[in-house]
Structure 1
Amino acid sequence: MTSSILVGLDLGTLTTKTMLALSKSDKDTTYELVRTSHGHHDCPTSISFGGCHRPRMLGEDSLERGDENTVGMLDRLLVDSLGGADGGGDDDDVGDQDPFQKFQRFTYDREKDSVCIPNMADDGQGNNEYSSTALLAMLLGRIKRNVLATVHRLEGTNEDGDEGMTSRLKFVFAVPPNYSTATRQALMDAAYAVSISNSMVVDSTLALGKVLEQRKFSGEVCGSGGRKVMVVEMGHARTNISLLRFGGGEGDDEGDAQEEKKNKEPNDKVLGSDKITVLANVNSSQLGAGTIDICLYHHFLATHPAFSNVSFETNSRSAQRLLEGCKKLKHLLSMLSEGSVTVESIGKNESDVTLSANRELLVQLCDGLVTKVLKSMIQRCIEKAGGMQVLNDIATVELTGGGCRIPLVQDTVRDCLGKKGDETFSFSKSLDDTSLALGAAMMMTAPSSCVEDALMEVSPERQARREALLHNEMLMSKRDEELVKKDEIRNQIEAHILELRSARHSSVHSSLLPTSDEFTNFLDGTDDWLFSAECDDATFDEMMKKWVEVKSKSEELCADFLEAKRLEAERKDREMEEEAKQAAAERDAEAMLNGDDGNDADDHDTRKLPTKRRMEIVMKNKAEANELFGDGNYKHACARYAKALSHCNKFFDLSPDDEVEVKEVKLSLHVNMALSFIKLEKLDNAFQSCNEALAIDPKNVKALYRRATVQHSRRKFDDALNDLKQAEELAPDDKAVKKLRRLVDHEILKQKKKEQAMAKKMFG
């Protein structure tokens, strides 16, 4: 019988952390932090929609986008739509004025629990609406793929068994103790929508307690009264204060027994061999590290001279940039007593603005919304646990979450505990940012764990909603897969045509290419089709049919060239194999002479080579990059272009003619690398490459066009228009420039109509 694969999930406001638990036996469990496809330790809790012709960008792929097609903070959206928490006297009901989500740009209808995404209908013009549970299911689908990739790596299996592997997965969500029943059910429904039929919800307080039990108290005798621990957890938009007791039992003192009886529902949890009792718990969904960002935001908006005559809505791109700048300044002030950051294109006439602050100012700004609220929460938690005398029994104070790294927060906790200025007092560091996800997975490895949510009966109405979610997510996933495959074929066609065009001028076999009008018309016609509505609307089968036609026509027109190219590739492969063998033999011989093991094989090429030899190395790397690009291997193509550029910086004593040649080569490398980054949807990198190219030649049409493409993807349509106008002046007949200009003009017109409608509504 195959064992279950437990997946602990900490669904955070900004990022989600995932921990895998693989059990080889009852006493042998391996825990592994799940990395994203980009290699990161956490997955952004957001998704982006690129329109009806583009696949969804989930988790880590949505990180660079921030427009109305990007939905972030999915955890708050879920809680907001389903009524938040089950009371308890804490400020857990976010209400209509969520201080964090008002900076998001997407449109959300709370009454309908619906997020409106523009341009997602089949015609490319209409809008689609998605519930908060459906959006969360999309994110969980990406997380599931990351989990399966991790399992395959650990178990040495391949993707062929994904369906059977999925049936072994059990998702365990760690959530605040007072999450409502509806919210807990929605989490499990979202998991069901991605074919995870077995999922559970556990209290985050107990998940942290489980980690503490193993890391801090596993080898200790806690005594009849147990060991009391205060846990302060502050994330980006939520704070939780808990008092836990480890150990103890029938011999507990009368006060603790009364508190346990009073808080019976959340307390009676027995995990492993020791009892973990929640003596008190206080939550807030209005306080987090992001609250400090908002305090800084309002301060600079009200006092900075650059904003004296500037106004923008909180959900505008300018507000997002200012808030992000405040977040960076907060991080800086967590390490230094004062600091400053620069926010680009946010002041008058899109000027850059420098934000400066020190810790004293931060304390003043956060006194009301952060310090007083946090003090009140700690005091309420202490009162719930039995009053101030409980402080004498606290064995340790644990801090966890990004917010608890901020000195202001740490000083507030010290003050509440009467430890201000006490140099002998220090916080414990047994918990880290992965502890919630780890604790969720650990709780379900203990046979005695009891989680009520797993035993809930599913009503027929809820099951019908689950099946609808599952059906819709399967359709969306199938659509994404087809669009990805379609894009791959389109890229192959584009790379093939680009190679044939460039071969006319750069290939040693250019003389074998036809010079007829038929060949020119074939290249131009294929280019026109790639930028046509027919291409956008084509299915995968139609795109594949077009690729077969293009290859067939190429074989017909360029048979001699393609055969020569194939033979040259085979020759290069043989040469590379021989060079590799020779290099290995030389390394072995050198190692024998030097008496070492030959492991120090790093290439630090500082040789002063002749210009011709260095240029050969540059062009070899460029040629390899072009081949990698043609095969769709964009990531490694970028690496080769970068390698070629690094060699361009090693020329010395260049003649004027040589300098011109090197500049032309560098220009070509930057332009090609920009296209590779665009294919990878690394917009910031592509933008930088375009800027590097334009620094060499401000009138390069390809660089202007590709930078406009980046700005269009970023929805900076005015900036894209400026580049396109320059490109049109330089190349008035360029079809790609014309098509992108039409798209940008259309988006600008839509924006103007939207602004006019809003103005009419406001001042009507």
Structure 2
Amino acid sequence: MTTTTTAATVVGIDLGTLTTKITLSSTHDFEIVRNAHGGHTTPTAVTFAGPTRPRLLGEDAADISRGDENTVWMMDRLLTGNNCCDTTDDSNDDQKIMMMMMQDFCRFQFDNHTNSVYIPNMDTTYDTTALLAMLLGRVKRNVLATIQRRTGKNDNNADNEELEFVFAVPSNYPQVTRQAVMDAAYAVKVNKSRVVDGARCLAAVYQRKFYDGQDVDDVVVSNNNSNDSSNDDGDEQKKTNKQKKTVLVVEMGHSRSCVSILQCGGGSGNKEEEAASQNQNDIPSSNNNVQVLSSVSSATLGAAMIDMALFHHFQSNHPSLSHTTTTFLTPKSRPAQRLMEGCRKLKHILSMLPEGNVTVETIGKNDTDVSLSGNRELLKQLCQESVANKLKSMIAAAVDEAGGIDVLGDIGSVEITGGGTRIPMIQDAVRHAIGKGEDFVLSKSLDDTSLAFGASLLPIDASTTNVEVTAEHEARRAQLLEEEMAMMERDVQMVRKDEIRNQIESHVLELRSARHSTHGSLLPSSDEFASYLDGNDDWLFSDECENATVEEMEEKWTQIQGKTQEFCADYLAATQADAERKEKELEDEAKRAAAEQDAEAGDGEAEDHDTRRLPFKRRMEIVLKNKTEANELFSGKNYQHAAARYAKALSHCNKFFDLSPDQQNEVNEVKLSLYLNLAFAYIKLEKLDNAFLQCNEALKCDATSVKALYRRATVLYQKRKFDEASKDLDEAEKLAPDDKALKKLRVLVEKQMTKQKAKEKAMAKKMFG
């Protein structure tokens, strides 16, 4: 009997300092995995909102520029600590300095000796592998959501989909870090995972883009020196293409860089020789057409060093920051975080423009805003030694490893990828390192997802793990799995608690506002009922609610629903009858609308194709006729058709032409009335957004219309935008201070604003003591 095994879906992952890129394998057309908000990357961050709140993972986490000590990011850096050494000849001191500098600008409390982070909100310390597992849990959910979207399946059992995570990492990642990455994958029930060198991934992408499906003879690698010669030279060109070409790939991210040299074409086809070469150099090639000759990685060089250089420059030299003390702009402080964010923005601007300016709010003297100005020459002065020259050294090291300077003689292309390579200073450094001028074109064929894409391209090895798993290691993995599953279950419980809390709050607010509804008179007017509502409000902000389990919350919600039924039986019965009646009315109106359409079609009025240039008097008669019909429909509570007639009347208002000033005033008065009536009809139909738009149109006709301001305030009140409603009432009361309707609505708005402020105060007291 033959057993059919479903192959795992390979997921390529590029774990970056700021964001993580994810792609699926060919099974799903190398789809880029979107996050839950629709973005193409997932922030490499985790936020702990508190012991009674779910974790905020990936795209839901707080922005790192605004996050506090309960938001953890740059997990790729935390995993390596000081263990990741550059593959250049540079001292390990650079790595330690870089790690210290980056930690200084992170508000979370990282212990470099234990590779763990203390989270005040949870009063718990988590090691970096567990933190990465939390992020990978979100990555897995995003992957499964993408697969479900592509396949059209909605399988609630996510574990049914077998996945294999393939992580693209720098070649200088130590074995202990590679093992930690795979352990984190295991903790989210991804039993198959691999860690591969980024250079292999880039070679695989280059192979697919320029060689797969083609004869090597037909591929022209060079993008700088190729030319279209006559057909007589065709054979000579093919002969040239058979020769080996060299491709230099420079990748610079936020906090790490990699330089790789690839050999393209001229493969020997001898797989035994190729395998021996791989064992000898420990850098496996992707195939016969594209092979990795050398790869040099740096765990210290990245675009973040430019941010830090700008930060220290402005901190020391900007006249508006001369007042600052050593404590005011300490890296972990809020002002320093804002200054750092401003430096990042300025760097991005200077990547596109020769000079730029960025304003940073409230970091100057007396909380004034500070303007940061700079140009590309400033970047060179600050970063030539620490960034540009180091990149040149990396390229030189890669060239030496690939066989010396002669390898550059066959250079066919220079590929740049990663955010750091968008900076002109970095591009100039690359050209200078290989002896090329400004006119040499740097190729950008490899985009920012290339590492993840390449990871998903690499074939599945016979073994899905590439680290030795001991009994002690198995126990550690089991512990990680158990802890992460427990935290996932806790998140589910906390989300359910929030849902029930929102249901209770909405229920209480609905009962309070129902007092002014059609059947509000059926609600109890006793103090007992008012106390019941106040009691539920108070309970929502109590310690009992905060510490309640999901079961206790569900029991409380059931009790509230039962008690409401006792208090409001007549009101609930009336609203239910209303709902049923409205549903029947909608069905009847649909039938009437169909009948009207048929009738209008018989009169040639199925659609408004009236482009006649009618005299003013005749056109106004049509407008008023539609308005009169609409008023009759409205009086009969046929709001849907009334709205349609008001809209039709307004459409005729747009067909007047060559109006005198008096005629224009008359039309404006009619339009004002129609907009107000149409807004009222939409309010009755509970289409508040439509009603709001009609009120705005009415105010365009007459900005001093008390009725329009009152009606818009009513809409805003129902939309629970009390502050905006209050502003409209302020304007209306200036025009009609004695209007009783305005006064009545004012009382309702102020009552809700008072309650809202009380709730905010209670919440603030709860959060901050």
TM-score (norm 2): 0.77
Deviation, 1:564, is: 2.3
Residues 500/282 of structure 1: CA separation in 2 closer, same or farther (3 Å cut): same
Residues 591/545 of structure 1: CA separation in 2 closer, same or farther (3 Å cut): farther
Instruction: Give CA deviations for 1:359-403 in whole Å, capped at 9, x if unaligned.
Output: 222222222222222222222222222333322211111111111
Aligned to 1:53: 52
Pairing 1:662-741 to 2, within 5 Å after superposition: 664-665=713-714, 668=717, 672=721, 736-741=759-764
How many angstroms apart in 1 are the aligned matches of 2:198 and 2:508? 55
Instruction: Give CA deviations for 1:9-65 in whole Å, capped at 9, x if unaligned.
Output: 011110001111253xxxxx6221111111111000000000101000000001435
Residues 734/270 of structure 1: CA separation in 2 closer, same or farther (3 Å cut): closer
SS at match of 2:766: helix
How many angstroms apart in 1 are the aligned matches of 2:523 and 2:494? 33
2:474 alignment partner, one of 445, 456, 463: 463
How many angstroms apart in 1 are the aligned matches of 2:462 and 2:441? 34
Aligned to 1:684: none
Deviation, 1:285, is: 1.8
The one-letter amino acid paired with 2:78 is L
The one-letter amino acid paired with 2:568 is C
Deviation, 1:742, is: 2.5
SS at match of 1:38: coil
Aligned to 1:8: 12
The one-letter amino acid paired with 2:283 is N
Aligned to 1:234: 252
Residues 148/250 of structure 1: CA separation in 2 closer, same or farther (3 Å cut): closer
Residues 201/229 of structure 1: CA separation in 2 closer, same or farther (3 Å cut): same
How many angstroms apart in 2 are the aligned matches of 1:74 and 1:233? 19
1:267 alignment partner, one of 279, 283, 287: 283
Pairing 1:512-661 to 2, within 5 Å after superposition: 512-574=522-584, 582=593, 610-616=674-680, 619=683, 623=686, 646-652=693-699, 653-658=702-707, 660-661=709-710
Does 1:245 pair with 2:245? no
The one-letter amino acid paired with 2:389 is K
How many angstroms apart in 2 are the aligned matches of 1:669 and 1:104? 43
Aligned to 1:677: none
Aligned to 1:184: 178
Moved more, 63-72 or 275-284: 275-284
Does 1:410 pair with 2:427? yes
Does the CA-based 8 Å contact 1:232-1:240 persist in structure 2? yes
The one-letter amino acid paired with 1:242 is S
How many angstroms apart in 2 are the aligned matches of 1:309 and 1:104? 24
Does the CA-based 8 Å contact 1:403-1:409 persist in structure 2? yes
The one-letter amino acid paired with 1:549 is Q
How many angstroms apart in 1 are the aligned matches of 2:580 and 2:697? 30
The one-letter amino acid paired with 2:45 is S
How many angstroms apart in 2 are the aligned matches of 1:181 and 1:248? 33
SS at match of 1:171: strand
Pairing 1:40-189 to 2, within 5 Å after superposition: 40-64=39-63, 66-80=67-81, 83-85=83-85, 89=89, 94-95=95-96, 97-98=98-99, 99-120=101-122, 127-165=123-161, 168-189=162-183
How many angstroms apart in 2 are the aligned matches of 1:63 and 1:584? 55
The one-letter amino acid paired with 2:762 is K
Deviation, 1:667, is: 5.5
1:203 alignment partner, one of 197, 200, 212: 197
Does the CA-based 8 Å contact 1:611-1:654 persist in structure 2? no
Aligned to 1:502: 513
Aligned to 1:491: 502
Deviation, 1:163, is: 2.1
Deviation, 1:353, is: 1.8
2:417 alignment partner, one of 365, 383, 400: 400
Does the CA-based 8 Å contact 2:329-2:335 persist in structure 1? yes
Residues 86/239 of structure 1: CA separation in 2 closer, same or farther (3 Å cut): closer
Give unpaired runs (5+ residues) of structure 2. 218-240, 610-646, 655-670, 731-749
Aligned to 1:724: none
How many angstroms apart in 1 are the aligned matches of 2:606 and 2:694? 31
Deviation, 1:481, is: 0.1
How many angstroms apart in 1 are the aligned matches of 2:366 and 2:595? 60
Does the CA-based 8 Å contact 1:645-1:669 persist in structure 2? no
The one-letter amino acid paired with 1:38 is H
How many angstroms apart in 2 are the aligned matches of 1:336 and 1:571? 64
2:490 alignment partner, one of 479, 501, 515: 479
SS at match of 1:542: helix
The one-letter amino acid paired with 1:303 is N
Does the CA-based 8 Å contact 2:167-2:196 persist in structure 1? yes
SS at match of 2:118: strand
When Rg is computed on C-alpha atoms for both structures, the one with the higher figure is 2
Residues 529/177 of structure 1: CA separation in 2 closer, same or farther (3 Å cut): same
Aligned to 1:755: none
Does the CA-based 8 Å contact 1:15-1:42 persist in structure 2? yes
How many angstroms apart in 2 are the aligned matches of 1:325 and 1:620? 49
Aligned to 2:766: 743
How many angstroms apart in 2 are the aligned matches of 1:455 and 1:525? 60
Deviation, 1:263, is: 8.7
Does the CA-based 8 Å contact 1:91-1:283 persist in structure 2? no
Does the CA-based 8 Å contact 2:216-2:242 persist in structure 1? no
Instruction: Give CA deviations for 1:305-348 in whole Å, capped at 9, x if unaligned.
Output: 22111132112222111111111122122222222122222222
Pairing 1:277-296 to 2, within 5 Å after superposition: 277-296=291-310
How many angstroms apart in 1 are the aligned matches of 2:480 and 2:389? 43
SS at match of 1:159: coil
Deviation, 1:238, is: 1.0
Does the CA-based 8 Å contact 1:91-1:286 persist in structure 2? no
How many angstroms apart in 2 are the aligned matches of 1:456 and 1:94? 25
SS at match of 1:309: coil
Residues 385/269 of structure 1: CA separation in 2 closer, same or farther (3 Å cut): closer
Does the CA-based 8 Å contact 2:86-2:299 persist in structure 1? no
Does the CA-based 8 Å contact 1:235-1:288 persist in structure 2? yes
How many angstroms apart in 2 are the aligned matches of 1:697 and 1:330? 47
Does the CA-based 8 Å contact 2:675-2:695 persist in structure 1? no
Residues 229/91 of structure 1: CA separation in 2 closer, same or farther (3 Å cut): farther
How many angstroms apart in 1 are the aligned matches of 2:357 and 2:21? 30
Give unpaired runs (5+ residues) of structure 1. 24-28, 121-126, 596-602, 626-639, 674-689, 699-726, 747-764
Does the CA-based 8 Å contact 1:201-1:453 persist in structure 2? no
1:17 alignment partner, one of 18, 21, 27: 21
Aligned to 1:436: 451
